[in-house]
Chain A
C-alpha cells in the first residue's frame, strides 16, 4: 500500500515537474501569469492610489498592499487557465496517449498537471510578495502570513485549475479553454479583488459580497493589511474546498466520458 502510494507520488511529481517546465519554457503560457497581473498592478497602483482615502476603504498602509491579493488571485486564475490550455495541447497532439500507454492511472496524469498548477501558484505568491515588499507594501502579520498566503495561493490555483482542467478533458480543445478566460476575468472584476465590495454600486456590490473569489481574495489580503480573522480564513478555505470538490468531480466525470467516447 505504502509502496503503491510512493510510486504514484513519484509519477505525479515527475509529471508535475514536466508541466512546470512546459509552462516556463512556453512564453505564451508563462507571460500571462506574470506580465499581465504585474502590469495591471502597476497601472492601478499608480492611477488609483488615492482610493485609500475614500470613506469606507479598509485601513491599509498603502494601495499596493491592498492590491497585492487581487494581483495574486488574477495570476492564479491565469495559472489554472494556462495549465488547462497546456493540458488540452497535450491531448490535441497525442502526448497524453503516450502517458496513458504506460502503467499509470489516468488520474495520475490529471493530478500531475494540477500539481504543477499548485507549484506555479506558490511561485506566483513568492513573486508578488517579493515585488510588493520591494515597492513598499507592508505584510502586517510578517513571515507566518507569507507562508499562509503561499499556501492559500497554491491551493486556490489547484482548486481553480481542476475546474478548467475538467473543461479541457471534456472539450479536448485548447482554443475552447482559452476562450473562457474573459468570463473568468468578468467574475474576478465583480469581486473584492481590485476594489472593496462595500464601495461598489449595486448589484455589483451584492455579487462581490457573495462571490467565492472575494472570500479567497480576502483570505490572502487580510494578513497583509490588517491581521488574522478566523472567520475570513475559514471562508477562504471553504471557497477553495468548494472549487476543489466541484473541479475534481467534473474532472472525474469528464474522464469517464472520455473513456466512453474512446478518447
Chain B
C-alpha cells in the first residue's frame, strides 16, 4: 500500500485560481519524498490538502490508506504535520506545547508527559523545555515543531519547508533528525525550495510548477535525464597542447569547449571513466594537475522542465511546463 496516493488532485480558489491542477503522486511507505518547487508553485496547497486542512476541488487523495476528504479523522490520527513558519504559540513553553499536542491526540496526561520529555531530549531542547517559545531561536522552534509532530508516532510525516530561514547548522540538525525518523520507518513528505535539501534527503523528488507536477524520479535519474556529468580538468604545462589533449579526451566522450585553460568532456559512463582518462593522458605524456567531475543539478532539471530557475529569480523562457514521465519510473 502506498503511504500517499493522489489522482488528478486539484484545488481551485475563488476567482478561478488553480493552485494545484491535477497532481498524480504515489509515495511508498518508508520513503522520503521531496516536493520541490518555487514559491507559489502549489507545494503548500498540496500539503494542506493531504493533511486535511483544505478540501480538494478535484481528484482524490489517500494518506496512510484513508481518503483525505471522506475520512479526515482517520488521516489525522496517522499523520504528523510541521507546517511552514513553525506556527507555535510564543507564550507557551516547549513542554506545555508538547503536552497539549499529546492531549489533542488522545494520549493520557501521564503518557503525554513522558513522551513530551522523551521528545524534548531527542531534539535537544531539554534545557529550554520550560522556557516560553517566544525566547527560542528559529532552529529551536523548528525542532520543537518537529517534536510536536511526532508526539503520537505518526506513520506519515509532512514537513512543509522545515528549514526555510534557518542557518546551515540548524538546517543540518533538522536533516539528521529527518533521516533518523525515516530509518525508524516513518514516511516523510517534505516540501522544500532548496535544491540541496531535496538532493540530500529525498529518495525521490517531485517537481511542481504552476500547480502541475512537471517531473518525478530519483534525484540521480532526474539529473541524468537532463544531461550527463562532465569532467573538468587542467594539465601541468598544458598550454599550447590543448588540441592534442582534446583528441585523447574525445575517445571517452564529447569534448566541450575549453574555458580558461580548463578542458571539459561530457562522460558517457560518469565517474567510471575518470581512471581510464587519467591513464590515457599519462600515456600521451600529459600530467593532470586537477580534475573535477561536475554533475547536473536539480536546478538544471527545473530549468529543463519549466524554463525557469528554481528560485524564480531568473527566467529563461515562457514555455508552458510540459508534464513528462521519466524513463525508469
Binding site for B on A (CB under 8 A): 7, 10-11, 14-15, 18, 21-22, 25-26, 90, 93-95, 97-104, 259, 261-262
In the bound complex, residues from chain A placing their C-beta under 8 Å from that of B79 are: 101
**CB-based contact A10/B103 at 8 Å:** yes
The 8 Å CB contact of A99, one of B54, B96, B104, is B104
CA distance A90 to B89 in the complex (A): 8
Asked if B87 lies at the interface with its beta carbon under 8 angstroms from chain A, I say yes
Compute how far the CA of A7 lies from the CA of B106 in the bound complex, rounded to whole angstroms. Answer: 7
Interface: B295 (CB within 8 A): no
Q: Tell me if B73 is interfacial: C-beta within 8 Å of chain A.
A: yes
Q: Give the residue of A7, A14, A94 whose beta carbon is less than 8 angstroms from that of B100.
A: A14
A-B pair count, CB < 8 Å, reads 67
Chain A neighbourhood of B148, CB < 8 A = 98
A21 touches B92 (CB 8 A): yes
A18→B14 contact, CB < 8 A? no
Query: What 4 A-B pairs have minimum CB-CB distances, sorted nearest first?
Result: A94-B87, A102-B104, A14-B103, A103-B76
The answer for the CA separation of A21 and B14 in the assembled complex, in Å, is: 37
A4 CB → nearest B CB, Å? 10
The answer on a CB contact under 8 Å between A95 and B88 is yes
CB distance from B182 to the nearest CB of A (A): 20
Contact of A262 among B13, B85, B89, B92 (CB under 8 A): B13
The reply to whether B89 and A18 form a contact with Cβ atoms under 8 Å apart is yes
Question: What are 13 pairs between A and B in contact, CB < 8 Å?
Answer: A10-B103, A18-B92, A22-B91, A93-B87, A94-B87, A98-B148, A101-B52, A101-B53, A101-B76, A102-B105, A103-B76, A103-B106, A262-B48
Chain B residue numbers with a CB within 8 Å of A97 are 53, 83, 87
The answer to whether B55 touches A259 (Cβ under 8 A) is yes
Measured in the bound complex, the distance between the Cα atoms of B81 and A34 in whole Å is: 38
A95 to B148, alpha carbons, bound, how many Å? 12
How many Å from the CB of B4 to the closest CB on chain A?
15
Is B171's CB within 8 Å of the partner chain A?
no
Say whether A22 contacts B89, CB under 8 Å: yes
Query: A102 and B87: CB pair below 8 A?
Result: no
- The residue in chain A whose Cβ has the minimal distance to the Cβ of B82 is A98
Considering only residues 76-102 of chain B, those with a C-beta below 8 Å from chain A are 76-77, 79, 81, 83-85, 87-89, 91-92, 96, 100-101
| CB-based contact B92/A98 at 8 Å | no
Minimum distance in angstroms from A16 CB to a CB of chain B: 11
- Asked if B51 is at the interface of the complex by the 8 Å CB criterion, the answer is yes
Please name the residue on chain B nearest to A108 by beta carbon: B104
Q: Kindly report which residue of chain B lies nearest to residue A104, judged by CB atoms.
A: B104
A contacts with B: majority SS: helix
- Residues of B with C-beta under 8 A to A262: 11, 13, 48, 54-55
Q: Is the CB of A103 within 8 A of B53?
A: no
Given A7-B106, A25-B91, CB of A18 within 8 Å of CB of B76: no
A residues within 8 A CB of B101? 98, 102
CA distance A99 to B83 in the complex (A): 11
Contact B85 A98 (CB under 8 A): no
B61 vs chain A, min Cβ distance (A): 15
Beta-carbon contact of A11 and B104 below 8 Å: yes
Residues 90-130 of B, flagged 1 when their CB comes within 8 A of A and 0 if not, give 01100010001101111000000000000000000000000
The answer to whether B103 touches A98 (Cβ under 8 A) is no
Excluding A98-B87, A102-B105, A103-B76, 18 further A-B contacts by CB distance (< 8 Å) are A15-B100, A22-B89, A25-B132, A90-B89, A94-B83, A94-B85, A94-B87, A95-B87, A95-B88, A95-B89, A98-B101, A99-B104, A101-B51, A101-B53, A101-B76, A102-B101, A103-B106, A259-B55
> What separation, in Å, do the CA atoms of A136 and B132 have in the docked complex?
40
Q: How far is the CB of A100 from chain B (nearest CB, A)?
A: 6
Hey, which chain A residues are within 8 Å of B91, CB to CB?
Answer: 21-22, 25-26
User: How far apart are the CA atoms of A64 and B103 in the complex, in Å?
Assistant: 44
Closest to B49 in A: A262
Give the docked Cα–Cα distance between A184 and B49 (Å): 38
Instruction: Please measure, in the bound complex, the distance between the C-alpha atom of A14 and the C-alpha atom of B77, giving whole angstroms.
Output: 18
**Contact, CB under 8 Å: B100 / A18:** yes
* Complex alpha-carbon distance, A18 and B105, angstroms: 16
Chain A residues within 8 Å of B105, by CB:
102-103
C-beta contact mask, B289-308 vs A, less than 8 Å → 1, else 0? 00000000000000000000
Closest to A10 in B: B103
- Bound complex: CA A21 to CA B99 (Å): 14
Distance (whole angstroms) from the CB of A170 to the closest CB of chain B:
15
Of all chain A residues, which has the CB nearest B85? A94
A15 smallest CB distance to B (angstroms): 8
Across the interface, name the chain A residue whose C-beta is closest to B73: A103
Most central of B13, B48, B91 by chain A CB within 10 Å: B91
Task: Report yes or no: A14 in contact with B83, Cβ–Cβ below 8 A.
Answer: no
Closest residue of chain A to B54 (Cβ to Cβ) is: A262
The interface residues of chain B lying within 8 Å CB-to-CB of A101 are 51-53, 76, 79, 81, 83
Most buried by B among A22, A100, A103, A259: A103
**Chain A residues, Cβ within 8 Å of B85:** 94
Nearest CB on A from B139, distance (A): 19
CB-based nearest A residue for B158: A101
Q: Which residues of B contact A22 (CB under 8 A)?
A: 89, 91-92
Cα–Cα, bound, A95→B83 (Å): 10
Alpha-carbon distance between A202 and B325 when the two chains are bound, in angstroms: 78
Q: How far is the CA of A217 from the CA of B73 in the complex (A)?
A: 43
Give every chain A residue within 8 A of B83 (Cβ-Cβ). Answer: 94, 97-98, 101
